Amino acid sequence: MAQLTILVTGATDGIGRQAALDCARQGMRVLVHARSRQRGEPVLDELRRAAGGGNLELVVADLASLDQVRALARELQDRIGHLDVLINNAAVYMKERVLTPDGFETTFAVNHLAPFLLTGLVMDLLKAAPAARVVNVASMAYQGGQLEYDNLQGERRFDGFSAYALSKLANVMFTLELAGRLGATAITANCLHPGVVTTKLLTQGFGFSGIPVERGSRTVTYLALSPEVLARSGGYYVDCRPTPVAGLARESGVRTKLWEHTEALVGPFGLPGGDPQEGRTPKAGSPELRGPRTPAPPAH
């Protein structure tokens, strides 16, 4: 296989780190995303040792800040000529409602808004590749997600699992809607449930462990690299097999509404501005962001 350029978000820990290592071991150029240089540089060194060298590079952005997501996209535009694979893996699980500097609930911002925004902003790089792939790491937890637009970010009530499940539902719905909109291009979009994997998110968020990350990353690397799925799009995969989606994710009108709502928060898909009228991200206090405000910690 020819060398591909691959971006893995949330690549300093867990599934993302293992997926970056898997891709590097297969000779790919891997852009290892970290939320900070302090966190990323030691991991980059460890990955290079584990891969026996490898073509690994560090990119840095705190995905809880949409301005930093935009800055990351600009850096990529300057740094690479094309992007073959985008793996949107970064995610957080928050036990309490915490707002980002932009005024968004952190789970919703990091797990949904950031990958939506980043994917749109690197679309030109994906289109420049002969055949590109977007791989979104979702979770079977999406089946518990509820779309209540008056409580989408915990404005009325907040529960950590409910917020996480909603964000994973948004990942699945974004993937299917994106695949439909990319139908005439050479870009595919697929999502997956990696399994119940022993990661920091699982142990800190849920308090138990699961399968090893080496197994949990298999479906990620399968969707990123396998020729079997090069032309397949709009799928939800479990154990490297396509699996029917359930519930709200099947409804195209519901998916379209969420897409349009997301654009209202971060700006039109693929454009660098924030609010489409004002060119900025909506701040806390706007109607869609009502609720208690707490300073946000760095995104994981």
**Residue among 93, 164, 222, 236 flagged as catalytic:** 164
Rounded to whole angstroms, how far apart are CA atoms 97 and 200? 19
Angle at 138 between CA 136 and CA 141, to 5 degrees: 170
Q: How far apart are the C-alpha atoms of 95 and 222, rounded to whole Å?
A: 32
Question: Is 236 a catalytic site residue?
Answer: no
205 contact partners, CB below 8 Å, separation of at least 6? 93, 95, 160, 164
**How does DSSP classify residue 113?**
I
Q: In the sheet where 85-88 sits, what is the strand order?
A: 55-60, 29-34, 5-8, 85-88, 132-137, 187-193, 236-238, 241-242
Non-local (6+) Cβ contacts of 245 within 8 A are: 172, 176, 236
Q: Mind telling me the catalytic residues?
A: 164
